[in-house]
Amino acid sequence: MSSSVAHSSDATGAASAEPAGSWLDLGSRYIAGGVVSLNRKVEPTVNFVSASGSRLRDHLGREYIDYHAAFAPHLLGHNEPAINQAVQDAIAQRWSLMGSGTTPWEVRLAELLCESVPSLERVQITNTGSEATAHAIRLSRAWTDRDDIILILGGYNGWHNEVARAVMPTLDQVGPRVSPGEYRFLPLSAGIPESTTRRVHLVNFNDLESVEYVMRRHPTACVLTEPVLQNIGVVLPEPGYLEGLRGLCDRFGVVLVFDEVKTGFRTALGGYQGVAGIKPDLSVFGKAVANGFPMGVIGGRADLMARFHDPDPAKRVLIAGTYNAHPVSSAAAIATLERLRANDSAVYGHIETRAARLEAGLNAIYEEFDVPAVVARNASAFCTYFMDHAPVDWHDILNHHDFELDRRLRVALIERGVYAFPLACKQNSVSAAHSEDDIDQTLHATRDALDHLLKDWSRDAL
């Protein structure tokens, strides 16, 4: 270990560390760019060293009520004892990566997944959501014998070539709203071949006319969409939208893929699809399914999924991965799902009560300060938009949201011990570990932060 980082233990035994400089600076000596996932580089940078339940702790021992949840996996809270115990038990029982045949825990996990989400007739298990969306696209292409795909502007579906487009492009980058019509794929990465992006068609959320427009012009393999856009906050489907998508996919022979990496198991045991009453052909899950341990899931109709083991090599779709269904992640996922299933209404009921209290409290504060704002919420996920209506798509947000107030408020909250990711429009997550006291402290911090921000602004205006 580098001598520039002094390690110690706090009273709870949790590791804490005092960096001689900023972690980002230290990390940059060895880690290209200092962070291992580009979106973790934000200002202000907080040096987190431990986490428990709803709380994060930094290297100076300061606590933060966490609404970031590491981009959403921690549905039951950080270091949930029952999940950690399940992982420890699995190791004690010598569960290991066997790499041959299947294991009882893989079978149990698959059974739990299929029993929890009605559209999952068969599943496959990966390590990440990105792997699962890549498989969903390839499977759809193999099934339909078509190459083009439809994605949603403002959606995020992973880092691989087909889906790595700008999630929050500026109006200059994306251009004004077109309907019906499609938007340019703005690569989020260098190195993506034009031959790939040509096959990808981007339309706005809640815009069925544009979906039909693309389907009429291009032989489309799949529509891959989050059922609620939760990478630009929380943008809910309008009544009839998901039904309309289902209808268009049926009409044009297109595979409907719901990316429930964020909504899955967070909204309800059966995913957002269960709440909406829509059955996609394929679904993809991740994040909350293993409460913070790495896992991705692809599943759906048995006839489509059968392509993963088609006896005809020309039709077979490859599924492979040394670490697929790793025992540590599998143990965590089994424990998470058993907890959610055994105690379904208690966990979801608890989260709903806390999230609703927060939503009502935030709305009251914005009203008190006469700040136009809407708290958009899908179960545990919420986002405040500083505009006079709940947004329907990314253009709506670009045209109406006060990004500067959003960003400044997040920074002011961090200063007051509430960790809202400091990037405008990022979704916040309530977990089962959040207490009523956490919610009330959050509301207190929000009132104080807003009060200071508005006073600063009115002073500046003088």
Ligand X SMILES: Cc1ncc(COP(=O)(O)O)c(C=O)c1O
Chain residues that interact with ligand X, rule: CB under 6 A: 71, 128-130, 133, 156-158, 226, 231, 259, 261-262, 286, 296
Instruction: Tell me whether residue 264 or residue 442 sits nearer to ligand X (CB atom).
Output: 264
Amino acid at position 367, single letter: E
Residue 259 bears catalytic tag: yes
Write the DSSP string, 18-67: EESS-HHHHHHTTSTTSSSSGGG--SS---EEEEEBTEEEETTS-EEEES
The least CB distance from residue 261 to ligand X, in Å, is 3
Closest CA to 219 of 140, 160, 163: 140
The least CB distance from residue 88 to ligand X, in Å, is 24
The least CB distance from residue 424 to ligand X, in Å, is 17
Give the residue ranges of DSSP H helices in 117-221: 129-144, 171-174, 194-197, 208-217
**CA–CA distances in Å: residue 100 to residues 97, 103, 128, 295, 379:** 9, 9, 21, 19, 40
| 397 CA to centre of own chain | 19
Instruction: Tell me whether residue 57 or residue 391 sits nearer to ligand X (CB atom).
Output: 391
The least CB distance from residue 406 to ligand X, in Å, is 19
Instruction: Tell me whether residue 177 or residue 426 sits nearer to ligand X (CB atom).
Output: 426
Give the residue ranges of DSSP H helices in 291-387: 302-305, 327-342, 344-368
Choose the catalytic residue: 64, 67, 156, 419: 156
Instruction: Tell me whether residue 298 or residue 362 sits nearer to ligand X (CB atom).
Output: 298
**CA–CA distances in Å: residue 31 to residues 34, 38, 397:** 5, 11, 35
The least CB distance from residue 133 to ligand X, in Å, is 6
| Residues β-bridged to residue 375 | 384
Residue 287 bears catalytic tag: yes
Instruction: Tell me whether residue 71 or residue 421 sits nearer to ligand X (CB atom).
Output: 71
Contact assessment for residue 185 and residue 202, using Cβ atoms and an 8 Å cutoff: yes
Choose the catalytic residue: 287, 348, 393, 419: 287
Give SS3 for 202.
strand
Instruction: Tell me whether residue 207 or residue 259 sits nearer to ligand X (CB atom).
Output: 259
Tokens of 21: 């400089």
The least CB distance from residue 270 to ligand X, in Å, is 17
| Residues β-bridged to residue 374 | 385
Q: How many CB atoms lie within 10 A of CB 115?
A: 12
Residue nearest to ligand X (CB): 129
Task: Please identify every residue annotated as catalytic.
Answer: 156, 259, 287
